[in-house]
Structures are given as structure tokens and as C-alpha cells.
Structure 1
């Protein structure tokens, strides 16, 4: 064959050549019962089907055969996803924070919080002693509810016990007494011994209020809440300085403003009730017996 004929033959072969990846796959012959099994790969041992990681049968051609077998101890995909996001406790599992396994993240019913143990109930003698000890150190009247909370006892027991203590002090003739004042209870010296107490406390110093201060305090006590202009109109003189004195001593305090004029309103304080030994302003004596007979004529004259 000449060189020219050889070149034409090679060109025809190159033009007719098809890459392997573009060649059509020949159909596989159907397997028959008499068809011999494919030879075993010497590197893989016998010709038995292989098993994948999920226990799926794999034949020699690399294709899976049949359904995956269940592996003991393996977690189902659906259950694994439920555990990952925290599913509810399943039937048969204890209902706790972590289900049967106690794994955090699995939602379940929380166990009820144990209730605190109730406080022991004090007998009458111990309750009486505890109340007396507290009343000796208080610097202002203390309410029955506060005493009940401190002692962790029922409020229904505190009031009767305080009444019993007060009656016992009076019957024994002590120089002090227990009485209600400013909405609470406190120990006070008896009025018949006031001169001795005053001599001990004051030591010759006069701390009494002036006549103007007493009059202004009386107007506020009976007319509260009241403005400065109203107090000055009742007394007939300017009361700004006197009111400042009463406020500095803690007997009077501001309690808002008047809606129409915006002026400050004044009222008596808890200290005022405590100093006078009153439980509320309703216990103030009536003014009628102290008014003059011609009060109406005086009122008409001032108009």
C-alpha cells in the first residue's frame, strides 16, 4: 500500500471514530436460571452481594438490591429529627424535662415546683413575747398586717393578741401602755407620768409650738387638704412662715395642688397623729363646743 493510500485510510478511521462516552450502551442480556453467575472479583472475595453502610444490598455491578435492613440500635431518621428539634414526650415515657432519656431539648411537661413548707404556728406565749420584742424597738406605729408578715402568722391572731397585751399592761398598772395610733400599734408612756418623762427628755429646753403655729396646725387638721391662701383667710394673717416651720418639723406636708388655682395643698402627717395619740383625723374632738355663740355674726362681719 502506498503512502497516499495509507493516509486516506487513517483519515477515514479518524472520521469514523466515536469516543467511548458517546457510544450507546448495549442492552444487557436477560438472566436465565441456567446463566452462570458473574465471576467473583478476586479483590472482593466471593461473588455474594455486598452491603452498604445502611445495610443495603449491593450487587457486583454496584447497584442496590432490595430494601435496607433494620440495624439494631440504629435511630430512625424521623425519630432522630424529632429528637434534634425537641419533640414531646411519647406515650409510655415519663413526662419530665427530658422525656425517658432526660436529654435536654426534648420538650415535656415540667415537674411541679414543690411548695414551701408552711411556717410553724407559734403558741400564745411565744407569739406574745415576739410581739412585745418587736414593739420595743419600733420607732413608729406598726400595723397588724406587717406584724403578721414578719412573724409568718395569720393576721386573725395578731389583733386579739395585741388587745390582750394592752389589757394586761393596763391591769398591771405599768408606766407604759400599748394603744393604737396612726393606723398601727406602739408603746406609749401613760399620761399620769408625762411630767417625769418631759423633765427627763427636755432637760429644761422648751420645744413647744407658738400660738400662731398651734392655730395654723388646727386649721390644717380640720380643713385638710387646704391651701395657704385659705389658711391665711381663716386666721386673718399671712401664714407662709408658720407653714414652713410646721413642714420642717414633720407635722404638715404637701399633698398635691388645687385643680382650679394650682396652689399647693397641705395636710397633717402621720407624725401629727402619733404625737397626739390619735388613730386617724376622725378622732379629733368636734369644734362646736369651742366656738363662740356669736360665730354667725362674726362670719357676717368679715364678709
Structure 2
């Protein structure tokens, strides 16, 4: 065969060639020797779609419609009126780990409230029972017992929290107790001091109490300490330099003594100079029997008549 004839034959073959996707599908042979058809690659997604559709139908079936199926008549198959859940549908995947009654909307978990679709919800915790209300006699006795053991004035709010009673009852009851002690003429009294309440001995029996407590020991403050304490009480908060300027002497040692006795304490620094500021403590109010520094007596009656002349002379 010549070269020209060979080229013509190859051209004819190329013109007659048909791509595989355009070729017609040959008919499948029929007969007993027919080989079993191989499963297609899309068989699994079709099963998944059928399973998904069956689940969707199960979820959206109203209560009472999918639970039982009506009988078709006397010729119906056995078990036609039984619940549909007894036999799974074709292609349905059964979750063996699902709890019983989950599809019917039954609650799960201990203490469920029975709301369909809500799992693991617990019942709300009941509110605590209110504290019993004490009668006046029991409340009076409880207050007296607490006031006998306190070492510093206690506020009405603290007493109300300890006794679990309304604060509105504590104040009037304390006033009634204080009035009863005064009327009965006891050697002690209940009075308000330093923002709270505490039992104190009466001033008319102070001589006997001092004789018993002090036993000859002198605990009085020096004149310098009293003057310094008075300046701090009326000028607080005040710096050491200001105290020294008022008294005319150095007060560093006296202030240290008052701090160690618990009558004076530091309360910050001055904005301009950065010097420490001093003020009186709660113990100071307690020792003087005052409720606040506003109860201090005015200074005008104790000033000399020629105070202005003295001030001019020191300039």
C-alpha cells in the first residue's frame, strides 16, 4: 500500500470515529444468564435522601396521625392498627442510643419540666423559707444578750442581719430597752455611741468603776497630749505642721503617743504638700460617749475674752 492510500485510510477512520459519550447505549441482554447489575456510585446518596425524607416526615407528623394507622377493613393485614413505631420504615436508620419517648416529646433528665423538645431542664429551686418573726419579748432578750458580749458599738443593721429581723423593728426596740433601764434606775445604761449601740455604766457610778478598774494606776493623758488631741478633734483632718503651729511647739512625739493609744489615726495626705493628715478614731468617740464629732461642745464659751489681743500680740 502506498503512502497516499495509507493517508486516505486514516482520514476515513478519523471521520467515522464517534466519541464514547455520543455512542448509543447497547440494549441489555435478557435471560437467565444475565449478570447482576453493579450498584451505581450514586446509590448511597439516594439512600441518604430517602432516610432524610423519612426522618422529616416523622418529625412533622402531628400527634395522633402517625401514631396509629387505620385498618383497611376485614381483609387488612395483621397488625394494621398497631402503632407505626413498632415497625421501622424502609430505609429508616434507628438510633439505638436515643432514650425511650424522645420522639414523643417526653422530657429527659432528672427533674424535667415536661416541655417537648427541651431536654435536661430542671425544676426551679423553691425560694428559701422566710425567717420566723420574733415576738417583742424574744426580740428584746436576744438584743440584750448580744449587747452584753460586744466589745464595741454595734449598728442596728448588723443586729437586724444577725437576728434575721426587719431593721425597722430594731431601732424602736433599742429605744424601749434604753428607756426601761433609765426608768428602773440600773447602774448601767444603753446609749448610742460611735454610730452604734452599747451598754455603759452610769456617770454617777464612775468613781466606783474607776476604783475597781484602775487599782491605783494612772492612765490619764498629759496636758500636752490633751491639747494635741483637742486640736485634732476640732481641726481634723489636720497635718502635724498645722498642729505644731497652733500649739507653738513640736508635736511629733505626742502624736505618736496618741496613735499608739488608738485615739488618733492617719487619714491620707495633703494634696499640696503631701504631708500626712490625722483624725480622731472611733475609740475616741467611744471614750467620750459621743455619736459623732458634731456632738463636740462649741469652743466659744472656753475662749478668753481678749483672744483677739492675744492673736495680735503673737503676730
Give the TM-score normalised by the residue count of structure 1: 0.70
Does residue 108 of structure 2 align to residue 95 of structure 1? yes
CA 1:258–1:105: 2 relative to 1, 3 Å: farther
**Contact 2:108–2:119 (Cα < 8 Å) also in 1:** no
CA 1:55–1:94: 2 relative to 1, 3 Å: closer
Residues in 1 aligned to 2:197 and 2:146: alpha-carbon distance in whole angstroms: 11
Shift of 1:212: 0.4
Alignment of 1:120-159 (within 5 A): 120-159=132-171
For this pair of structures, how many residues does the alignment match?
291
Shift of 1:39: 12
Shift of 1:132: 0.1
CA 1:25–1:146: 2 relative to 1, 3 Å: same
Residues in 2 aligned to 1:62 and 1:149: alpha-carbon distance in whole angstroms: 57
Secondary structure of the equivalent of 1:8? Answer: helix
Q: Select the residue among 42, 60, 65 that pairs with 2:39.
A: 42
Secondary structure of the equivalent of 2:28? Answer: coil
Residues in 2 aligned to 1:26 and 1:239: alpha-carbon distance in whole angstroms: 121
Residues in 1 aligned to 2:58 and 2:27: alpha-carbon distance in whole angstroms: 26
After superposition, give the CA deviation of every residue in 1:258-297 in whole Å (9 maximum; x if it has no partner): 0000000000000000000000000000000000111122
Residues in 2 aligned to 1:8 and 1:279: alpha-carbon distance in whole angstroms: 127
Secondary structure of the equivalent of 2:197? Answer: strand
Shift of 1:23: 16
CA 1:27–1:235: 2 relative to 1, 3 Å: same
**Contact 2:150–2:198 (Cα < 8 Å) also in 1:** yes
Residues in 2 aligned to 1:74 and 1:284: alpha-carbon distance in whole angstroms: 99
CA 1:16–1:49: 2 relative to 1, 3 Å: farther
Name whichever of 129-138 and 289-298 sits farther off. Answer: 289-298
Q: Structure 2 stretches of 5 or more lacking a match?
A: 41-49
Residues in 2 aligned to 1:70 and 1:80: alpha-carbon distance in whole angstroms: 20
Residues in 1 aligned to 2:165 and 2:38: alpha-carbon distance in whole angstroms: 89
Residues in 2 aligned to 1:268 and 1:90: alpha-carbon distance in whole angstroms: 74
Name whichever of 75-84 and 207-216 sits farther off. Answer: 75-84
- Residue matched to 1:203: 215
Residues in 2 aligned to 1:15 and 1:281: alpha-carbon distance in whole angstroms: 119
After superposition, give the CA deviation of every residue in 1:221-247 in whole Å (9 maximum; x if it has no partner): 000000000000000000000000000
Shift of 1:300: 2.2
CA 1:60–1:267: 2 relative to 1, 3 Å: closer
Q: CA RMSD in A?
A: 9.5
After superposition, give the CA deviation of every residue in 1:76-124 in whole Å (9 maximum; x if it has no partner): 999999999999x99965598786xx99996565532211110000000
**Contact 2:111–2:121 (Cα < 8 Å) also in 1:** no
Shift of 1:11: 29
Q: Structure 1 stretches of 5 or more lacking a match?
A: 31-35
Secondary structure of the equivalent of 1:180? Answer: strand
Q: Select the residue among 71, 76, 84 that pairs with 1:70.
A: 76
